[in-house]
Amino acid sequence: MKNVDDLIDSASELATRGLSRGEIADELNVSRETASWLVERAGTAAPVEDEPSGGPQDVHVDWSNIGEAGARLAAVGVAVADALREHSHDVDLIVGVEKAGVPLATAVSNELETDLATYTPRKHQWEEGDIENLGGSFSRNFASVDGRECFVVDDTITSGTTMTEAVEAIRNGGGTPIACGVLVDKQGLGEVDDVPLESLFQVIRVGNDD
């Protein structure tokens, strides 16, 4: 992924394949608003530079060089697991956030020798409008969070909304989130809903957005 035009082409392709805008946001590691902008731009002929604002203020994270190689993903999983160990050595469950967070969560689970649960956030159903009326879910094909202490793993924090939702869902499901781990934190949060957040990289924007 080299530039914004490539992102627009990718968003257009994903939309053509029937992915919701929330799923496109997940695939491209951008906010829902950015995903909508990319899809809308795909239907115009004007170059991005013609817009006064140059588009939404966001950062695209492409970690496909890690995700496409099992050995690299496993190595990064070891790093995330090591960061999470600082918060507890007794956790026996990793919760991976669908979609991209699950392969990383699997690598972390393997390193920590824990069970694995997966959570599908409500943004995967989102197209436009109010997302609050949609609901996320845990997969029945993986472990239950009920009565378990767990670490929550995703690939990227963009706004923090998805991770906050996952933490809330775990609590509502009877589980206790001890810490969260991600590859990249675009917000520099440090914690999510009073749960510590560990990231391998933080993205810090320097300068004005104007």
The pLDDT, as a whole number, for residue 34 is: 73
DSSP the chain: --SHHHHHHHHHHHHHTT--HHHHHHHHT--HHHHHHHHHHTT--S-GGGSTT-S--------HHHHT-HHHHHHHHHHHHHHHHTT-S---EEEEETTTHHHHHHHHHHHHT-EEEEEE-GGGG-SSS-STT---EE-TTS---TT-EEEEE-SEESSSHHHHHHHHHHHHTT-EEEEEEEEEESS--SEETTEEEEEEEE----S---
Q: What is the pLDDT of residue 139?
A: 94
pLDDT of the residue at 145: 97
The reported pLDDT for the residue numbered 129 is 58
- The reply to whether CATH 2.20.25.90 applies to domain 70-202 is no
pLDDT 10s digit of each residue in the chain, 210 long? 457 777 677 777 877 887 777 677 767 767 667 777 777 777 664 455 555 455 566 777 788 899 999 999 999 999 999 999 999 999 999 999 988 899 999 999 999 999 999 999 887 564 565 556 656 899 999 999 999 999 999 999 988 889 999 999 999 999 999 999 999 998 888 899 999 999 999 887 765 555
CATH of 4-50, picked from 1.10.3860, 1.10.405, 2.40.160, 1.10.10, is 1.10.10
Segments of the chain assigned to CATH 1.10.10 = 4-50
In this prediction, residue 52 carries a pLDDT of 46
Provide CATH 3.40.50.2020 ranges for the chain: 70-202
